[in-house]
Structure 1
Amino acid sequence: MSQFAWVMLAIGIFVLGQWMMMRPNARESGLMHLREAARKRGLQPRLLPAPTWLVQEHRKMVPVYTLIVPNAVMPYWRAQWVEGRLQTVTPGLDRLAQLTPPDSVKLVLAIEAQANAVSFYWEEEAGEQVLDELKAFLLALASAS
């Protein structure tokens, strides 16, 4: 084989390697699909730095999905996992006591709301089938008085 063929083979392997590195892996593809499904349902997914009040093990960024409820007027409140159940942390306001949360809420790390937006922090480990259930729960939280 000539030197020209070896150079062309090396270039081909280099280009193929770069192309393989650009392709998203299966987990990234799944997350992109989940976030697109959330957008279609009216949720706004974002990846934000973990707030100081949210206990996260070895994570600097956490996924947050926000639902804008145009006609809602809410004070700031936050719910976190306390002793194995989701409890409202904000004093004087317990919206969770009025509702029975669905099983999918166990996937949520925390819920935060203010003005006309309700957000939930989670690990994105469930599929898109729980998004409708979580959205309905967030709407119920926003309309609870």
Structure 2
Amino acid sequence: MDVDVSVRFKQSEINGLFQEVEELKRKRAHLKGELDKVTEQINKKTNQIIHYIQKNGNVLAYKNNVPYILSVKQKISKKFDKSQLANDVGKSTSELNLIGVAELVEERKISSQQLKQYEHEETNLVLKARKAKKSDIDLLGARAL
């Protein structure tokens, strides 16, 4: 009879662990939803700052009582349109990883020159923050007057 008790105890213990895992999965899904909301708020407020700086120039802001100069920079990044290439060669996008694209070139289904057609540049405005120097603070202070 001891064997039955220990087996049932193990099953009960496993059931408890399974319930904990399921609860943790529910918490993770909830936190992911919250994280998405926070990310959306961050992006919205960052865009407001960028818009203000574009109109009015650099801004002095503080983080933990340390002055920073906020400015806007253009970031240019190269993008590769994998979905368009997949449509043109009749393959799925998941097949077109680095090795898949190399195989297409090797099989002469597409040339390296033709691959350049699927590249494009994307320009984004990004917020830059750097620690302010005394001269920066003086300059922005004079501009505010």
TM bracket, shorter-chain basis: under 0.3
Q: Based on CA coordinates, which of the two structures has the bigger radius of gyration?
A: 2
Structure with higher helix content: 2
TM-score between the two structures when normalised by the length of structure 2: 0.27
Structure with higher strand content: 1
TM-score between the two structures when normalised by the length of structure 1: 0.27
Higher relative contact order (CA 8 A, sep 6+): 2
